[in-house]
Structure 1
Amino acid sequence: MKKTLFISLGLVFSLAVSAQKLSTRSAEVSFFSATPVENIDATNQQVSSILNLDNGQFAFLVPIKAFQFEKALMQEHFNENYMESGQFPTAKFTGEIANYKKISLDKDGKYTLVLAGTMTMHGVSKEIKQEVRITVKNGKLSLKSDFNILASDYGVEIPATKADNISNSLAVKVSATYD
């Protein structure tokens, strides 16, 4: 599965043969949802990502079944009832980082830039524009971003009977350190 996801990254967008590319298979995506009854917190450390240093284009592929929850039942409900991971096994985020040329990979530094692209989840695609924090340290590039999404924007239905248990609003965190 991991191999298939990583190969798919290369197909998400074409990169010139001479392009300098960074990649990782261990990026992390987590989300948090607070409700009156319980909090839902899940983490996925099997996210693949590629970053083209020549033009700032990026891609993330997130295997839905790899999200880990505190309770096994939450994980089961997430995959079967809400994300329908059998039908929609991955989420994808592709796009580019604006003003990428401002970053010097030859020296340590911190940059706050904007990434823009398309997030596809549960069969629905939406344009996303979000701040990203990039750190270059000892020649390694890492990025972090925090943003909120609505499950309903991606066709994920939460029954009214579960509204006290599951929030429509999700706080998402993304982090990646590239090799």
Structure 2
Amino acid sequence: MKRIIILICPLLLFSYADTLAQGRFFTKTGHIWFFSDAPLEDIEAHNRKVVSILDMGTGEMAFSVPMKQFQFRKSLMQTHFNENYVESDKYPKATFKGKVTNIKTVDLNKEAAYKVRVTGVLNIHGKDKAIDTVGVLEVKAGQLLGRSTFSVTPQEFDIKIPRLVRNNIARRIDITVDIVYEPLKGNSL
């Protein structure tokens, strides 16, 4: 009987570690912000209502970003952003569907920061754009943290900027992603 238990225990531990490695991670409170460095005034907005899921088995990931949840320093900026630029009533969400192409390099059993490559399609204002960027997945204190920064232009998403304010907005806008994932369905780190 002891021999059977000794044989089964390592199998169960291996199976448990494999389940974690193949697990899904989720958040409803992800943080995305953008920054536009312009000559007249910097524009920055934060959104802490980002939903994301990451499948550690396949590397597939998805984001859903409610556009009206971006918070600006000035309420007039927020109004212009929602009504005139991204047309939040017509296009209420931005989405990203993609993949961490080197997900197998991330070891959930070892605390470390892992450089990852993310590819996929970002949809803003009803327009798709292919994204290929680097980021970091970090296993730390029982959590899975995700971070990345990339740049886009309003023109890539058919966002029209009136000539009168064109110099107030940078040609390239930096987007930063900062996510704390939690295990989905009982998985744990």
After TM superposition, the score normalised by the length of structure 2 is 0.83
Cα distance in 2 for partners of 1:76, 1:147 equals 25
Partner Cα distance (2:81, 2:170) in 1: 12
Corresponding residue to 1:177 among 156, 180, 183:
180
Mark the structure with the bigger radius of gyration.
2
Q: Does 1:115 align with 2:84?
A: no
Instruction: Tell me whether 1:75 sits opposite 2:78 in the alignment.
Output: yes
* Aligned equivalents of 1:78, 1:138: Cα separation in 2: 37
Could you tell me how far apart the structure 1 residues matched to 2:97 and 2:84 are?
26
Q: Does residue 1:143 correspond to 2:137, yes or no?
A: no
User: Are residue 84 (structure 1) and residue 87 (structure 2) matched?
Assistant: yes
Q: Give aligned-pair identity as a percent.
A: 37
Displacement of 1:163 in angstroms is 1.2
Q: Distance in 2 between matches of 1:164 and 1:95?
A: 33
Whether contact under 8 Å (1:158, 1:168) holds in the other structure is no
Equivalents in 2 of 1:47, 1:33: separation in Å? 20
2:161 corresponding residue in structure 1:
158
**Helix, strand or coil for the counterpart of 2:131?**
strand
117-126 or 136-145: bigger deviation: 136-145
Q: Distance in 2 between matches of 1:81 and 1:113?
A: 35
Q: How does 1:95-114 map to 2 (within 5 A)?
A: 95-114=98-117
CA distance in 1 between counterparts of 2:165 and 2:102 reads: 43
Give the residue type in structure 2 aligned to 1:124.
K
Aligned residue pair count:
161
Q: Which has the higher helix share?
A: 2
Aligned pair partner of 1:42 in 45, 50, 53: 45
After TM superposition, give the deviation of residue 159 of structure 1 in Å: 1.3
2: CA distance, partners of 1:91 / 1:43: 14
Answering whether residue 65 of structure 2 is matched by residue 52 of structure 1, we say: no
Residue aligned with 2:62, SS: strand
Task: Answer with 161-170 or 27-36: which moved more.
Answer: 161-170
Match of residue 16 from structure 2? none
How far apart, in 2, do the equivalents of 1:142 and 1:56 lie? 15
Cα RMSD of the aligned pairs, angstroms, is 0.9
Give me the TM-score of the superposition, normalised by structure 1: 0.87
Q: Distance in 2 between matches of 1:138 and 1:33?
A: 33
Instruction: Give structure 1 regions of 4+ aligned residues with deviation exceeding 2 angstroms.
Output: none
Uncovered stretches (5+) of structure 2, i.e. residues with no partner: 1-21, 183-189
One-letter amino acid of the counterpart of residue 72, structure 1: S
Contact 1:41 1:70 in 2 (8 A): yes
> CA contact under 8 A between 1:106 and 1:139: conserved in structure 2?
no
